[in-house]
Amino acid sequence: MKRLLSLLLPALLLAAAVPPARAAGEQALDLSCPSAVLMEKETGTILYEKNPHEKLAPASVTKVMTLLLVMEAVDSGRLSLDEMVTVSANAAGMGGSQVYLEQGEQMSVDEMLKCVTVVSGNDCAVALAEHLAGSEAAFVERMNQRAQELGMADTTFLNCTGLPAQGHVTSAYDIALMSRELILNHPAIQQYATIWMDSIRSGEFGLTNTNRLIRFYPGATGLKTGSTDAALYCMSATAQRDGMELIAVVMKAPTTNQRFEDAKALLDYGFANYALAPVYPEAPLAPVEVLLGVQAQVQPQLQRECRLLIRRGEESQISTRLTLAENVEAPVDPGQTLGQLDVYVGSQLRDSIPIQASQAVQRLSVPGIFSRMLSSLLMGR
């Protein structure tokens, strides 16, 4: 038997709101780039797009995938930040953006991550790839495999740096996907991506971030720039405000200044029009009766937190509908479903959160059942 309760959340839930993607017919942003995407990190919702699947050269934005694979190795324990990497002749000869590593030089994974993220060091990227996979070619194979796993259907990687190579392409949408994977599941990357100025080799070699937004855009958290003659000026820019982090991808902007202006325009649009609203039941969840259990009740709890992406101005339209069992028969397992909380914006169902048992409740044994019955009879006298 279940009871149905309709619980309206207060209008003061949040001073911000949002729905999924850009509405049809909504005025386009004035961007210089031919391809762009704006994505919200937590939900992966596309908030704005312009030719999102156009296959273009990404230049050093390629290194988002390089960083992702390295961070996955670090976070899984396969690689240590203190581990020393020995530079090969191949890595030392990369050219382009570099920190001028020499063959045989050793540098820690930590320092190399900093160099790749802050100054886009091609030599460090290749050194890390070789150290992790044995060769750049083997690492690139893993890059393409990971791209497939993430649903990056527009992408073919031919190197780990983004140096010019015919057929090395991706799209704004795919860059947003790998950027989201990196910042969502490996937040430690922000320790490197937010560095404005630093140094290596005991202060002998200075580093200044190629991403100007780190210094000049409020809330900037990263992530990666890139430019070549063919790719022109690209970037994946991340920023966070009021608990919401956005990913703005710009492809093939005509100049470096226009690249940053396009990224700012995308981020400004997102923060001005969208927000994440935390959603809760209006009242605490009442305990559920357990039939034939060693405990008479079990406490229900939401399986996860709910933060709803809404358009600003829609906060008063949020409502919830709670469906919760009145009782459940023992045994009860931890995490057993007891109901669900449906979340609406207006009449549109936007999320459903399972409600689960917070603990196990064992079933009474046969002697236990008789003992309880006897106690009930005695108490009833």
Between 8 and 346, residue with greater pLDDT:
346
The mean predicted confidence, pLDDT, of the chain is: 91
DSSP per-residue string spanning 111-150: HHHHHHHHH--HHHHHHHHHHHHSSHHHHHHHHHHHHHHT
Q: Which residues pair with 151 in a beta bridge?
A: none
| Residue among 44, 12, 28, 13 at smallest CA distance from 244 | 44
Q: What is the pLDDT of residues 46-62, one digit of tens each?
A: 999 999 999 999 999 99
pLDDT range class, residue 377, cuts 50, 70, 90: low
Mean pLDDT of 303-319: 93
Span 29-50, mean pLDDT? 97
Q: Considering only CA atoms, which of 209, 182, 175 is closest in space to residue 193?
A: 209
Over the stretch 76-120, which tens digit does the pLDDT of each residue have?
Answer: 999 999 999 999 999 999 989 999 999 999 999 999 999 999 999
Between 365 and 7, the more confident residue is 365
pLDDT for 20: 43
Asked if pLDDT for residue 32 goes beyond 50, the answer is: yes
Tell whether the torsion through CA atoms of 15, 18, 24 and 29 is positive or negative.
Answer: positive
Average pLDDT over residues 114-135: 98
230 CB-side CA count, 13 A: 14
* Beta bridge pairs of residue 29: none
Strand pairing category for 46-50 and 35-40? antiparallel
Task: Report the predicted TM-score, pTM, of the whole model to 2 decimal places.
Answer: 0.86
What mean pLDDT is predicted for residues 11-21? 35
Gap between the Cα atoms of 60 and 224, Å rounded: 7
**pLDDT value at position 23?**
42
How high is the pLDDT of residue 282? 84
> What's the whole-number mean pLDDT along residues 301-325?
94
Question: Which secondary structure element, helix H or strand E, spans residue 344, and what is its range?
Answer: strand 337-345
Read off the pLDDT of residues 150-174 as tens digits, 9 standing for 90 and up: 999 999 999 999 999 999 999 999 9
Model pLDDT, residue 3: 37
Asked whether the beta carbons of 229 and 216 are under 8 A apart, the reply is no
Q: What pLDDT, on the 0 to 100 scale, is given for residue 28?
A: 79
How does residue 369 score in pLDDT terms, banded at 50, 70 and 90?
low
Phi then psi for 240, rounded to 5 degrees?
-130, 135
Q: 202-240, pLDDT tens digit by residue?
A: 999 999 999 999 999 999 999 999 999 999 999 999 999
Per-residue confidence at 365, pLDDT binned at 50, 70, 90?
confident
pLDDT tops 90 at residue 366: no
Distance CA 57, CA 175 (A): 11
Q: Is the peptide bond before 284 cis (omega within 30 degrees of 0)?
A: no
Contact 358, 334 (CB under 8 A): yes
| Residue 379's pLDDT band (cuts 50, 70, 90) | low
- Give strand ranges (E) for 184-305: 197-200, 205-208, 220-228, 232-241, 244-253, 274-279, 288-291, 297-298, 300-302
Residues 108 and 85: their CA atoms lie apart, in Å, by 6
Report d(CA 55, CA 41) in Å as an integer: 22
Average pLDDT over residues 302-322: 93
Q: State the CB neighbour count (10 A cutoff) for residue 257.
A: 12
Distance CA 151, CA 53 (A): 12
Q: Inform me whether the pLDDT recorded for 374 exceeds 80.
A: no
Q: What confidence category does residue 13 fall into, taking pLDDT thresholds of 50, 70 and 90?
A: very low
- Token readout for 216 is 């000049």
Instruction: For the chain, give the longest Cα–Cα distance.
Output: 93
SS3 195: coil
Active site residues: 60, 63, 120
